[in-house]
Every structure is written in C-alpha cells, then in structure tokens.
Structure 1
C-alpha cells in the first residue's frame, strides 16, 4: 500500500518514495551485471546528495581478481561524475536472504560515506534489510585516521 504522504514516513532519513526508487534502480542495475563465471548478479544504486541516482553492476573478468563489484562500480562512476556526497546505498541480488556488500566494498564505501549512511540490501523477492555503514563495518578505518602532511613541510 503506497504511503499516503511520502514526506512524513521516513526510513533512515529517506522518504518511502526515495526508498522505493532506490530499490527499483538497484534491481535495474542488477540487470546490467556481466557475470558469466559466477552467474551471481549484483546491482547497486547510490542516492546522491543532489537527489540523483548512480547505478553500478558487478563486472567479472576471466582473471578473477580483476573483477569489480557493483558497489565499487557505482562509487567509481559517481566520483568521476563529480558526485562525492551520498544519502543512501542500495544493493540487489538474486538470493534470499539479502546479501551485504563484501568486505572490500564496505571499506570502499567507508571512503565516501558517513558512518550513519544507510545500506539497503534487497533479496530476490524484494524483501530488504537496512543497516548503517557503521553497523556493517564496526571500528572502521577511514580517511580521518590518516596523518595529512603539513603543506609547510613540518610535522
């Protein structure tokens, strides 16, 4: 049943319309996956701060380590397009229960998202779980932990 007023019902700061759109875009992104080896399709949709959505899909390679996950594809595309602030991440797979981003993707997301950013994970039946980045990557290491060199040359 549609939300009578999508501006009043919020999940992690997103309206029901935004969550629904994130879901449909993550599912659509899954259709773009190139996965001839694993046949494990993953789609990712990012809700950017400006309200735009950026999609990514997993892209496999015969040299398996060269494979890139849907989440890293989406973030790479967004960054190259000049988008660096995100309100939510959506991931869709063909399994149930929903799959979460892998460890490498969690760390990649950490570079660009606040720890409170919601990560929505949809399964093959449209059911979802949502967790914050901090819940998925507790005690994480991020850019703020790195010592930035003093531009004057002194530490």
Structure 2
C-alpha cells in the first residue's frame, strides 16, 4: 500500500518528466514513474523516433532507469498522459509485460490524466493470467 506522500511524489515525478517527452510525431506526451524496492523513484518519458517501431514508451524508459540504478523490483508505477475525452492512458501490452518482469501481480498501477488520479489498478488487473519469470524453471 502506498502512503499519501509517496503516492504524490510518484505522481509529481511522472508529471515533471512528461514535459521532457520527445514526441514530435504523435504529439502525445507520456510520463511514468516507478517506485523500487529501496523506496527510490525512477522517472521516464516516451521517446519517439521517425522509424516508429524503435520508439520507446515512458514506462519502458522508467523501468530501464530503475534497472540502471540497481533497482530490481517495481513496487508501484504511475503513468501520466492526457488523452482526448479524458480516456485513461494505461500501459500498452508490451509495457505491461515489461512491468511483469519486475513487479508482482498486486503491484499498484496509478493512472493519472489532466483531471488528476483517474484509477488505481493492479498489474494483475491490467495483465491477467500473465506469463512471467516465475514460470521458468532453473532446473
């Protein structure tokens, strides 16, 4: 469970990094922030490329920053995006799977839009019956 100050720090980090998104093609800026097992916050934004398939989502960037800093477990994730009509901006399928690599099924994923916090879902709600590291045996 996230306490209020930690939740707000995660949201603030995702909002701040969203301003740095490189989105000259879609003009759709997204920010994300991950809380790691040490209580550190790692933020990332989307980085587009003229060759769309090599663009990078904000969630993937934040997870990469976490790993680069030595983090190995995501305890919470915030995604900030402003979709038309107030629609939720949730992690794409690929980012849900990336998050599954580093998070537990009950990890909270907070969805923030222009109106503020829109929803808090678990990873399992976003990616039910997922395949993850625990399915692979080392024997």
TM-score (norm 1): 0.85
Q: Deviations over 1:79-107 (max 9, x none)?
A: 12110122210000022232110000000
* Candidates 75, 80, 96, aligned match of 1:92: 80
Structure of greater relative contact order (alpha carbons < 8 Å, 6+ residues apart): 2
Post-superposition shift, 1:17?
Answer: 1.1
Structure 1, unmatched stretches of 5+, are 1-12, 151-155
Aligned to 1:115: 105
- 1:78 aligned residue (66, 91, 99): 66
Superposition pairs for residues 1-155 of structure 1, below 5 Å? 13-95=1-83, 96-148=86-138, 150=139
1:4 aligns to what?
none
- Provide Cα deviations, 1:90-132, integer angstroms capped at 9, x if missing partner: 0000222321100000000000001110000101121321100
Asked if structure 2 preserves the Cα contact closer than 8 Å seen for 1:36 and 1:60, the reply is yes
**Structure 1: which 4+ aligned runs deviate by more than 3 Å?**
none
Structure showing greater radius of gyration is 1
Aligned equivalent of 1:6: none
Secondary structure class of the residue paired with 2:63: helix
What displacement does 1:145 show? 1.1
Residue correspondences, number: 137
Distance across 2 between alignment mates of 1:63 and 1:22: 31
Name whichever of 30-39 and 90-99 sits farther off.
90-99
